[in-house]
């Protein structure tokens, strides 16, 4: 698993890369990140800033949270369905 870089560090690297004073390969080397990582960070930053189309980080996090919540609700619903079926069987006259 690659090491995670703090958000502040990413913002600083992106700011330096956007200035265009040096090639991206040199910037990546200077900051100790891979060139592909820097390209990905720039792409994500462009999407978040509205420069290029795509799903923003905030939208992606919201979808992830909603999917997690949906999964939890489905599990709770299944438990309640099984409990209702159990108690319905128990209340039938013998």
Tens digits of residue pLDDT in 10-66: 999 999 999 989 999 999 999 999 999 999 999 999 999 999 999 999 999 999 999
Q: What are phi and psi of 34, to 5 degrees?
A: -75, 155
Contact 27, 15 (CB under 8 A): no
Tokens of residue 2, six digits: 């690659």
| DSSP letters spanning 13-78 | HHHHHHHTSS-HHHHHHHHT--HHHHHHHHHHHHHHTTSS-S--HHHHHHHHHHHHHHHHHHHHHH
* pTM listed for this prediction: 0.71
């Amino acid at each position: 698993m690659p090491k995670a870089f703090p958000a502040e560090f990413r913002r600083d690297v992106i700011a330096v890369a956007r200035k265009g004073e040096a090639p991206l390969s040199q910037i990546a080397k200077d900051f100790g990140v891979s060139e592909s990582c820097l390209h990905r960070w720039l792409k994500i930053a462009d999407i978040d800033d509205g420069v290029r189309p795509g799903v923003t980080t905030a939208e992606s996090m919201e979808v992830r949270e909603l999917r997690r919540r949906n999964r939890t609700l489905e599990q709770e619903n299944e438990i309640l369905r099984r409990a209702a079926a159990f108690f319905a069987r128990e209340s039938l006259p013998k």
